[in-house]
């Protein structure tokens, strides 16, 4: 094992963009139609607000990364504004959200693969076992380093866009002659409470716009590359989601979508036949696997960045000859495995929805804290206050608080419990840091 990260920075603009888009376009757009179906057209308005809120927060992250290229990502942003303990707690919450996201992604990948073997969904424990197998296969890939993971991300990003394009083509052909939508728009069913309920689920699909900020020291020209990749990726993905998910609502009755383990495949099966549906299911599985790859990369990189600054247990700072933080990845993999297996009795759709809401709640802690850090740094004149940043940062804060309400009591409750569970780890880290300081003082009188 080496303690030093290689000097080369393998993530250029296209890999950083692929990391952002690839982590965002994972299972969300493929699985969410089933979770959002009960809300009907309220989901479209939810998407609109989520995309707007995500762009506000993405601009905050881009601005922080531009002016603080050596901060080490979100942990460094919050530490600069509020100190060690808040920075650790939001980072702990974010690490939890990553682990939960990976569990949901592995589940989603298996859900779409079940189109080739329908018995998977009907066999108790089978989805969880297959999800764990998929997880460890991608972990082995990430042990080859950030460069290998980045190249895999670019390939899977190209493949995962194909089913989304297919849905748009079908919708354009179906509605070109004035055919009414399968789920009609009824104004009386639109309500702010229903839109709010969709907010946390739709944000799940947008999680990841901060991805380029996390491996900051492995990004080429981070002060330029990270802001560009963050904003471009968020905008492109937002437009794709809005168009594609609206098309699904129009093409299939809501009650049918709600019962589907693979909504996209089922939509295409109704228009192009089972062969095309199986192809879509395969591409959707590739999409989830690609996002799984990107999030596993962050599972190792975020704790590594903290550990090398002395803000996380030192074992997470170790890297192999390829610069991969193997110990962090493996420990994360074990925790994810336990998380998936502990929920093996849930259906694939139920497991996905629970994991998505929990991950969203945990990530919102990071989003809120980084936006608050930007406000504090601007007030202290340590961050350039542009008119755009002065407007979008408060909007991002408001959006984060609003989305917390939509996540619901169960997800927020679990997120809080997991957040508090980080306190013993923080005390351990501070003790280790104090011990190293004393040893250093004894060595250098």
Please state at what angle helix 348-379 crosses helix 192-206, rounded to 10 degrees.
Answer: 90
Q: Is 125 exposed, middle or buried (0-12, 13-18, 19+ CB in 10 A)?
A: exposed
Q: In the numeric block, which tokens belong to residue 379? A: 């007030």
What is the Rg, in whole angstroms, of the alpha carbon atoms belonging to the chain?
Answer: 21
From 113, 162, 111, select the one nearest 353 (Cα to Cα): 111
d(CA 27, CA 7): 34
Q: Where are the beta strands (DSSP E) in 3-123?
A: none
Please state at what angle helix 348-379 crosses helix 42-67, rounded to 10 degrees.
Answer: 40
- Render each residue's pLDDT in the chain as its tens digit; 445 residues: 444 444 456 678 888 888 888 878 876 676 678 778 888 888 889 889 999 999 999 999 999 999 998 887 888 999 999 998 999 998 898 888 888 878 877 877 777 777 677 776 666 667 778 888 888 988 888 887 767 766 777 777 777 788 788 888 888 888 887 788 887 888 888 898 888 888 777 887 888 898 888 777 778 888 899 999 999 999 999 988 888 888 888 888 888 887 776 677 788 888 888 787 778 778 777 877 888 888 888 888 888 888 888 888 888 888 888 778 888 889 989 988 887 777 655 555 566 667 777 888 888 888 999 999 999 999 999 999 999 999 999 999 999 888 887 777 878 888 888 888 888 888 888 887 787 776 665 555 5
d(CA 218, CA 6): 9
End-to-end CA distance of the chain: 30
d(CA 337, CA 75): 26
* Complete domains list, the chain, with CATH: 13-437 (1.20.1740.10)
d(CA 129, CA 143): 22
Please state at what angle helix 13-24 crosses helix 222-251, rounded to 10 degrees.
Answer: 30
From 94, 93, 95, select the one nearest 420 (Cα to Cα): 93
Q: In the numeric block, which tokens belong to residue 98? A: 């990553």
3-state secondary structure 3-51: CCCCCCCCECHHHHHHHHHHHHCCCHHHHHHHHHHHHCCHHHHHHHHHH
What are the DSSP calls for 288-344, one per residue?
HHHHHHHHHHHHHHHHHHHHHTTSS-GGGG-B-TTS--HHHHHHHHHHHHHHHHHTT
From 89, 83, 131, select the one nearest 106 (Cα to Cα): 131
């Amino acid at each position: 094992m080496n303690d030093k990260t290689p000097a080369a920075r393998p993530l250029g603009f296209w890999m950083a963009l692929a990391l952002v888009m690839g982590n965002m376009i994972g299972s969300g757009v493929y699985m969410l139609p089933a979770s959002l179906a009960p809300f009907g057209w309220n989901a479209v308005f939810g998407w609109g607000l989520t995309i707007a809120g995500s762009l506000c927060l993405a601009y905050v992250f881009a601005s922080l990364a531009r002016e603080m290229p050596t901060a080490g990502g979100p942990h460094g942003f919050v530490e600069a504004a509020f100190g060690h303990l808040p920075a650790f707690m939001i980072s702990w919450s974010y690490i939890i959200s990553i682990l939960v996201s990976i569990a949901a992604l592995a589940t989603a990948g298996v859900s779409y693969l079940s189109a080739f073997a329908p018995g998977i969904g009907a066999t108790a424990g089978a989805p969880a076992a297959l999800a764990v197998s998929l997880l460890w296969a991608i972990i082995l890939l990430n042990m080859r380093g950030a460069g290998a993971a980045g190249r895999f991300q670019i390939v899977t990003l190209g493949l995962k866009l194909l089913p989304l394009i297919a849905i748009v083509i079908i919708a354009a052909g179906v509605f070109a002659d004035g055919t009414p939508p399968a789920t009609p728009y009824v104004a009386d069913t639109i309500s702010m409470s229903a839109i709010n309920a969709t907010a946390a689920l739709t944000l799940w699909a947008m999680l990841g716009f901060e991805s380029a900020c996390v491996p900051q020291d492995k990004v080429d020209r981070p002060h330029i590359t990270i802001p560009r990749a963050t904003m471009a990726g968020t905008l492109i993905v937002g437009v794709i989601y809005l168009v594609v998910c609206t098309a699904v609502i129009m093409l299939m009755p809501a009650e049918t979508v709600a019962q589907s383990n693979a909504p996209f495949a089922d939509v295409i099966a109704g228009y192009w036949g089972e062969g095309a549906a199986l192809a879509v299911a395969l591409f959707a599985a590739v999409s989830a696997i690609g996002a799984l790859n990107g999030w596993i990369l962050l599972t190792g990189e975020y704790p590594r960045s903290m550990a090398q600054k002395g803000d996380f247990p030192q074992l997470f700072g170790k890297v192999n000859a390829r610069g991969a933080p193997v110990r962090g990845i493996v420990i994360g993999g074990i925790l994810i495995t336990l998380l998936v297996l502990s929920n093996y009795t849930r259906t694939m759709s139920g497991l996905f929805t629970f994991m998505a809401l929990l991950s969203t709640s945990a990530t919102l802690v990071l989003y809120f804290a980084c936006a608050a850090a930007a406000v504090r740094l601007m007030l202290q004149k340590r961050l350039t206050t542009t008119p755009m940043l002065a407007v979008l940062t408060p909007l991002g804060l408001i959006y984060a608080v609003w989305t917390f309400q939509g996540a619901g009591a169960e997800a927020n409750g679990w997120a809080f419990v997991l957040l508090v569970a980080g306190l013993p780890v923080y005390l351990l880290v501070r003790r280790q840091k104090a011990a190293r300081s004393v040893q250093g003082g004894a060595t250098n009188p």
